[in-house]
């Protein structure tokens, strides 16, 4: 199979996530693709441009939220990635709620929410990477199946190139699909 070297990277896939922080006493939300799991402690990372309005709030409060929008929220998600809280008040784009810890707003409409306490931050070029320990997590009741979060009901989006995509269907089971030994010693 031939490989073509590409120049316009990164192209994804990245998760479409709304990170939240209080700035000047009001909720502000920013769309990011730079978010993921760091370790099973559990710690998430987000990477924010240093000049973003949200970055001020994360630094001030030492907390941020990670909210997973469902694909029906694509318009509001994109909006928060176009408009800055510096120029436009985004506090009313979503209904916000707070954990008893307070510290960062979470988005009611998003089916999955994490409140994270900053444990470390690393400047990278003109970005700031925040590592946050998850201190609480919430899921919408209607997104549960047999008491567990159901990914197809949560219906998150991934960013690939210029597009937002939903996750379609499940294609395999984690820690099961690769475990039937048929791949052992097989030449790739």
Ligand X SMILES: Cc1cc2nc3c(=O)[nH]c(=O)nc-3n(C[C@H](O)[C@H](O)[C@H](O)COP(=O)(O)O)c2cc1C
Kindly list the residues in this chain that would bind ligand X in the complex (CB under 6 A).
28, 30-34, 47-49, 52-54, 78, 81-86, 159
Select 163 or 178, whichever has its Cβ closest to ligand X. 163
Shortest CB 50 distance to ligand X, Å? 9
Select 47 or 140, whichever has its Cβ closest to ligand X. 47
Contact yes or no for 121/130 (Cβ under 8 A): yes
Shortest CB 131 distance to ligand X, Å? 15
Shortest CB 177 distance to ligand X, Å? 29
Shortest CB 129 distance to ligand X, Å? 10
Shortest CB 75 distance to ligand X, Å? 12
Tokens matching residue 129: 């990477």
DSSP of 25-87: TEEEEEEES-EEEEETTTEEEEEEETTSHHHHHHHHHSEEEEEE-BGGGHHHHHHHHHS-TTT
Give the per-residue SS3 of 100-169: CCCCCCEECCCCEEEEEEEEEEEEECCEEEEEEEEEEEEECHHHEECCEECHHHHCEEEEECCEEEECCC
Select 98 or 127, whichever has its Cβ closest to ligand X. 127
Query: Is the sign of the CA dihedral 47, 163, 165, 107 positive or negative?
Result: positive
Select 124 or 152, whichever has its Cβ closest to ligand X. 124
Residue nearest to ligand X (CB): 81
Select 78 or 99, whichever has its Cβ closest to ligand X. 78
């Amino acid at each position: 199979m031939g490989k073509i070297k590409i120049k316009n990277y990164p192209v994804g896939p990245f998760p479409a996530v709304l990170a939240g922080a209080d700035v000047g006493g009001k909720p502000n939300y920013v769309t990011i693709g730079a978010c993921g799991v760091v370790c099973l402690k559990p710690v998430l990372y987000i990477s924010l441009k240093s000049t973003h309005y949200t970055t001020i709030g994360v630094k001030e409060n030492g907390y941020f939220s990670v909210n997973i929008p469902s694909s029906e929220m694509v318009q509001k998600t994109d909006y928060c990635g176009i408009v800055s809280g510096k120029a436009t008040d985004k506090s009313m784009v979503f209904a916000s709620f707070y954990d008893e810890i307070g510290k960062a707003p979470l988005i009611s409409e998003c089916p999955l929410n994490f409140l994270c306490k900053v444990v470390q931050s690393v400047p990278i070029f003109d970005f700031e990477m925040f590592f946050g320990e998850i201190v609480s997590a919430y899921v919408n009741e209607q997104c549960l199946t047999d008491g567990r979060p159901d990914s197809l009901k949560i219906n998150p989006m991934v960013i690939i190139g210029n597009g937002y995509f939903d996750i379609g269907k499940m294609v395999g089971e984690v820690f099961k699909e690769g475990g039937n030994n048929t791949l052992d010693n097989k030449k790739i």
